[in-house]
Each structure stands twice: as structure tokens, then as C-alpha cells.
Structure 1
Amino acid sequence: MNIDRTEFHAWMERVMQRFDLLAEKIHKVEQRHNSIDGEELLDNQDVLQMLKISSRSLQRYRSDGKLPYYTISGKLYYKLSDVHQFIRESFHRPEPQRKATG
């Protein structure tokens, strides 16, 4: 089979348009599955990396009610805003040291 250059470019253009359409559809599906009420959802791995903690620590934060989570199709997710709030609440300013009297 032998095609000329113009026909080849037209064919490649159609292929690339199909790829672009597929990429848009994939992006829409990902957004739908990774957000709730328009807010980004993070999975366990995302939160573990973000907070630099162990999976046991994350489980303890869930159990203690310190970090809200959602179960979707058997998988755990966290709202990005909840994780940010958890970080703010977990941040403790060091207390000023008192001078020893003696």
C-alpha cells in the first residue's frame, strides 16, 4: 500500500483528533471520580505522601475522628480542605520558655 504525503498527513490529523477527544473524556471521568461537590478528593496514598506519615498513623487519625474520610466503592478518600484543616489544627506553636527563678 502506497499513500501520498498529503493523504498521510490528513490521516494522522484524524488520528490525533481522536486522541484529543479521548484525552478530554478521560480528564472528565477523572475529575468526576476525584471530586465531591467540586472539591478535590485525595486517596490514602496521596494523604500519606502529603503528611509524610505511616498508614497506621493515618488509620489512628481516622479512628480518633481527627481526619474526616469518605468511603466510595470500598476505597477511602479525604477532602483536600479537610486535610488542610487537619494540618492547621495539628500545628502547635511552641510555648515561650520561662526563665528559671531560683
Structure 2
Amino acid sequence: MEIIMIDMKTFKKTMVQLEFLHKRLDELVRKNQPKRLEQWVDAEYVCRALGLTKRTLQVYRETGLLAYSRIKGKIFYKQADIETFLLEINKLSNEQKKKL
């Protein structure tokens, strides 16, 4: 085994450069990671999960209460949008809920 000695100034300079390199690599890794795919569900799933009729779900879409996307004629919802919708509904008073 061979031992190599370096002076403290050189060691500190090398450590600063390594720290810079480490931070830069972290930035590049974060930048180039694939984006998390969002979970999409269809109308049938939403109706079953929330206990809604298709017509009620359609009303929520038409009034802008629930965001959606149409792909090749089929309607899909982001799970995150459904969760946001449920949180907003829970904030409403009972009188406001009856109007929905």
C-alpha cells in the first residue's frame, strides 16, 4: 500500500472542487429524471368510486367542478383532480352541497 501526502491547501481546494462537482451532478440527475406520470381514470371508475351516476358526473364536468380530458372520444380524469374536487366538496356547507 502506498501513502501519498498532500498539503492542506491542496486538499481543501480538491474538496471544494469535489463538492461543486457533486452539486452539479445532482442538478443534472434531477433535471433529466423522467417526469412522474399522472394516474388517469375513466368515468366508469369515478362513478363507482364516488357512488355517482353518469349524469351527475356529467353535470360536474359541464359546470367546471371537475376537470377532465377527452381522448379519442373517451373521458378521463386525473386522480389528483378527483382528490382536489373531494376536498372542495367537503369544505362546502350542507346547503351548498344540496344545490349540487
TM-score bracket, shorter-length normalisation? 0.5 to 0.7
Runs of 4+ in structure 1 over 4 Å off: none
- In the superposition, the TM-score normalised over structure 2's length comes to 0.55
- In the superposition, the TM-score normalised over structure 1's length comes to 0.54
Number of the residue aligned with 1:45: 44
Q: Tell me how far 1:94 sits from its aligned partner.
A: 6.3
Q: Which has the larger radius of gyration?
A: 2
* Equivalent pairs, count: 59
In the aligned structure 1, how far is the partner of 2:89 from the partner of 2:74?
25
Spell out, residue by residue over 1:27-75, the C-alpha distance to the aligned partner (whole angstroms, 9 max, x if none).
xxxxxxxxxx600001011100111011110000000000000001110
Within 5 Å, which residues of 2 pair with 1:1-102? 38-92=37-91
More helix by share: 2
Structure 1 gap ranges (5+): 1-36, 96-102
In the aligned structure 2, how far is the partner of 1:43 from the partner of 1:81?
13
Query: Aligned AA for 1:62?
Result: R
Q: RMSD value over aligned CA atoms?
A: 1.8
In the aligned structure 2, how far is the partner of 1:72 from the partner of 1:46?
16
